[in-house]
């Protein structure tokens, strides 16, 4: 299955799941094979600052893995503005990558995602879970707290019945820290879905 010739499917696996802010015509849960979602990317511009970057999601190649997220179909007439907005939003180390998307109904289509490749200038890489959790619990940037990013992602994955042990384990670890420690800022109100008005995420 594929969309109209002048449109594109854009796949989101991080903040694009819960705050797409792009003018999509349709959204669907989709899977990309050969990638796994990991909180291994630094965020200097959204969930952290240059001297104290936050930790956000990227995709890491793994031939045995796959990652589920949400694909958005963008009409050709809105593509130019969408690329401009997303290129700006994902400017801290992410680049576009062509992928094959598999939908839950068994159909498939070509698509594009933003990946922050291993070794990019903001890349943090793996760390022990408690270390990543403490990092996230203590980070914040212009788009809000880092824990808010993680909570929203975990909440949306749960709602969409997408299993991701990496995200859920990390969230449990951060919530344990939050309970044990000083009060953390509450999550912001739920997003209102796609449409106009691009925000600066993650």
Residues engaged in binding ligand SIN (CB under 6 A): 12-16, 56-57, 90, 113-114, 201-202
Nearer to ligand SIN, 9 or 13 (CB): 13
Residue from 156, 150, 141 nearest 172 by CA: 150
Q: In whole angstroms, what is the distance from residue 120 CA to residue 98 CA?
A: 18
Residue from 6, 27, 80, 3 nearest 194 by CA: 27
Residue 77 Cβ, how far from ligand SIN at the closest point, in Å?
A: 23
Residue 29 Cβ, how far from ligand SIN at the closest point, in Å?
A: 14
Give the CB-nearest residue to ligand SIN: 14
Nearer to ligand SIN, 5 or 110 (CB): 110
Nearer to ligand SIN, 43 or 183 (CB): 43
* Crossing angle between the packed helical segments 129-137 and 146-159, to the nearest 10 degrees: 110
Q: 161 catalytic, yes or no?
A: no
Assigned token pair, 160 = 């969409």
β 8-12/108-115 pair status: parallel
**What is the Cα 105 distance to its own chain's centre?**
23
Which of 26, 68, 81, 90 is labelled catalytic? 90
Q: In whole angstroms, what is the distance from residue 165 CA to residue 36 CA?
A: 11
Count the alpha carbons within 13 Å of 81 in the hemisphere toward its beta carbon: 12
Residue 16 Cβ, how far from ligand SIN at the closest point, in Å?
A: 3
Residue 86 Cβ, how far from ligand SIN at the closest point, in Å?
A: 9
Nearer to ligand SIN, 133 or 143 (CB): 143
Which residue numbers are catalytic?
Answer: 90
């Amino acid at each position: 299955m594929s969309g109209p010739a002048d449109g594109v499917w854009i796949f989101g696996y991080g903040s694009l799941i819960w705050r797409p802010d792009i003018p999509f015509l349709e959204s669907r849960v989709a899977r990309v094979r050969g990638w796994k979602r990991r909180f291994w990317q630094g965020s200097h511009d959204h969930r952290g600052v240059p001297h104290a970057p936050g930790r956000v999601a990227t995709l890491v190649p793994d031939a045995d893995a796959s990652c589920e997220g949400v694909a958005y179909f963008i009409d050709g007439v809105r593509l130019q503005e969408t690329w401009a907005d997303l290129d700006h939003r994902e400017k801290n180390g992410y680049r576009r990558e062509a992928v094959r998307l598999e939908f839950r109904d068994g159909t498939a289509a070509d698509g594009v995602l933003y990946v922050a490749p291993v070794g990019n200038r903001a890349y943090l890489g793996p760390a022990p879970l408690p270390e990543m959790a403490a990092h996230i619990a203590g980070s914040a940037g212009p788009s809000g707290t880092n824990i808010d990013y993680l909570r929203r992602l975990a909440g949306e994955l749960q709602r969409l019945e997408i299993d991701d042990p990496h995200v859920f384990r990390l969230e449990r670890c951060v919530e344990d820290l939050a309970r044990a420690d000083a009060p953390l800022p509450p999550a912001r109100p739920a997003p209102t879905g796609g449409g106009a008005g691009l925000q600066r995420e993650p």
